[in-house]
Amino acid sequence: MKGFVIALRKAKNEDVISTVLTTHSVRSYYRFFGARHSILQFGHLIDFEAEEDQGSFMPRLRGLSHLGFDWLYDNNRLLLWHNYIKLFEPHFRDTEEIDPFYFDLLLQSVKKWGKQNPKRIICENYIQLLKYEGRLHDTETCYICEMPIDEELGMMQAFIPVHSYCIDSIALKKEKLTYFFESGKTLYLDDNEVEYLYGVASKGL
């Protein structure tokens, strides 16, 4: 089975508890430390077996192998990947069963990560996720004051549109953000605008 390691926590000695997002689940697994065991890496895509034991409080990871990508050796891209994938653990904290959408979203991301701007990938993924979960707002009305938005807007967490002056934020062109919301593409956003949206996305899913 394949999955992404979205969280690691230290257990006794040098053992770890890992949270792994697979096609249909987000589950915690126990991983023993040992000379014969490969070191489990946060954020990596892994191939593994889950060993269930009635005497254990959680399943164990066995037969572990890491599935590599060239960009993993690029420190800047790896840091951005870590910052992105760590957002998924709190999002699914009280959830175990999930739809394949989330695994597929991450899988498509790792394939593009070394060729495209990771911050643009994150912003575009965020729109896909909000649409899938039914949480994407339109750009017509300010969430705070509930008055119409004319030509410029700001963004709250979860890409919720507001007047920039309602949250003391920089102003973005409504026309460009509306296209972004509808198309899911950052094509017409410049790097400064993408940087701003990346900052919003980094606050949480």
Interval 108-165: pLDDT, tens: 999 999 999 999 999 999 999 999 999 999 999 999 999 999 999 999 999 999 999 9
* Fold adopted by 1-99: OB fold (Dihydrolipoamide Acetyltransferase, E2P) (2.40.50)
Interval 31-42: pLDDT, tens: 876 545 567 889
Q: What is the DSSP string of 123-146?
A: HHHHHHHHHHTT-PPPSSB-TTT-
Burial (CB count <10 Å: 0-12, 13-18, 19+), residue 148: exposed
Interval 183-205: pLDDT, tens: 999 999 999 999 999 999 999 99
Q: Are 132 and 51 in contact, with CB atoms under 8 Å apart? A: no
CA 117 to chain CA centroid, Å, is 15
Quick one: what percent of the chain has pLDDT higher than 70? 95
* Residue 56 pLDDT: 65
Q: Where are the domains of the chain?
A: 1-99, 116-201
